[in-house]
Amino acid sequence: MILTSAIDAIGNTPLIDLTRVCAALGVEGRILAKPDFLLPGFSKKDRAARAIIQAARESGVLQPGQPVVELTSGNMGTGLAIVCGILEHPFIAVMSRGNSVERARMMAALGAQVELVDQAPGGVPGQVSGADLALVEEATQRITRDRDAFRADQFGHPGNPAAHETGTGPELWQQSGGTIEVFADFVGSGGTLAGTARFLAPKGVRCYAVEPRGAEAIGGGDTRHPDHPIQGGGYGMADLVHLRDAPLSGTLTVSGDQARDHARLLARTEGLFAGYSSGANLAAAADLLRGPERGRTVGIVLCDSGLKYLSTDLWADAT
């Protein structure tokens, strides 16, 4: 099959049985993972980027050649850079300096104009807080007005969860032969979890939100220590638009160390080189199999590539 562009290569990632990881962790059950880092932009956000831009073009909200602006930790921006570049829309990515430099360089290489926003006072490189995100949001609104641009709005646009309700969810169900019983996902904008849950929950699948320890806003837990290294989410935002009325069975928390250790384990045992949030998803799946979902089949998404974290401590002295 010959595709017309990289946009057509977004979706339909394989499903991999993590038997070696499960054996190494000594858990009872099964973990099935979708490596969405195999998508053109090396992350699951390609799905939402395509859906949002296509919907906006079809509705006429986004006019030919009109600029597109979005705040990003790097993954959504990479997906938008690809889609907008092919469809000939100038794209401006607005990102905190707290995110890894690889992300900014990749977006720029794909033709995006990258606007970096300084972190809030006391901010730590590699750890993007809710305060940092608020500064990025302020800059994004200003640039959108100044450029008369279309705001992709991954935190509010219905195309984000729709991409997973029609893509990720059905793929997990069909590829597993309907054996998925549990789904867990680290929450950034909430689009992946909400959309996937809307498809899977009616089939009896229990769906869980994953948050960093100390930034447990969705689960109503501790939010006093929001500093963590899991880029792309865990901003301590309790009221996420996409998660309103999402059919969730509960929430889990993982630490930055757990996410790091499980990402490294995934690379060593399965040859799957993924990032921090993927490690968080794996850690959460393992916790579920040790607890309330013992013996069941858990589906997760490997959200992005480990290549986006080479300048962080994720792979420093990895053993």
Model confidence pLDDT, tens digit, residues 224-248: 777 888 888 888 787 899 999 999 9
Catalytic residue among 45, 100, 129, 308: 45
Mean pLDDT within 165-179: 98
Give me the percent of the chain exceeding a pLDDT of 90: 84
Distance CA 276, CA 258 (A): 9
Q: Residue 297: what pLDDT?
A: 98
Catalytic residue among 100, 129, 277, 278: 277
Domain boundaries, the chain: 6-43+160-309, 45-151
Q: Residue 228: what pLDDT?
A: 86
The answer on pLDDT for 318 being more than 80 is no
Residue-wise over 75-106: b if at least 16 C-beta within 10 A, else e? bbbbbbbbbbbbbebbbbbbbbbbbbebbbeb
Distance CA 262, CA 284 (A): 10
**Architecture of the domain spanning 6-43+160-309:** 3-Layer(aba) Sandwich (3.40)
Mean pLDDT within 114-138: 88
Comparing 89-103, 134-148, 164-178, 229-243, the range with the smallest average pLDDT is 229-243
On whether the CB atoms of residues 263 and 279 are closer than 8 A, the answer is yes
CATH annotation of 45-151: 3.40.50.1100
The answer on pLDDT for 165 being more than 70 is yes
- 228 against 181, higher pLDDT: 181
Q: Residue 319: what pLDDT?
A: 60
Q: In what order do the strands lie in the sheet with 16-17?
A: 16-17, 30-35, 297-302, 182-186, 206-212, 250-254
Comparing 144-158, 170-184, 233-247, the range with the smallest average pLDDT is 233-247
Residue 139 has φ and ψ, to the nearest 5°, of -65, -40
DSSP-assigned beta bridge partners for residue 30: 297
Q: In the structure, what pLDDT confidence band is assigned to residue 99 with cuts at 50, 70 and 90? A: confident
Q: What is the pLDDT of residues 26-83, one digit of tens each?
A: 999 999 999 999 999 999 999 999 999 999 999 999 999 999 999 998 899 999 999 9
Q: Residue 170: what pLDDT?
A: 98
Q: In the structure, what pLDDT confidence band is assigned to residue 100 with cuts at 50, 70 and 90? A: confident
The answer on pLDDT for 109 being more than 80 is yes
- 312 against 23, higher pLDDT: 23
On whether the CB atoms of residues 128 and 120 are closer than 8 A, the answer is no
Distance CA 69, CA 152 (A): 6
Distance CA 273, CA 298 (A): 20
Same fold? 6-43+160-309, 45-151: yes
Q: Is 45 a catalytic residue?
A: yes
Of the candidates 293, 290, 260, 264, the one whose C-alpha atom is nearest the C-alpha of residue 277 is 260
Give the containing element (helix H, strand E) for 16. Answer: strand 16-17
Distance CA 26, CA 302 (A): 21
Q: What is the pLDDT of residues 273-306, one digit of tens each?
A: 999 999 999 999 999 999 999 999 999 999 999 9
The answer on pLDDT for 183 being more than 90 is yes
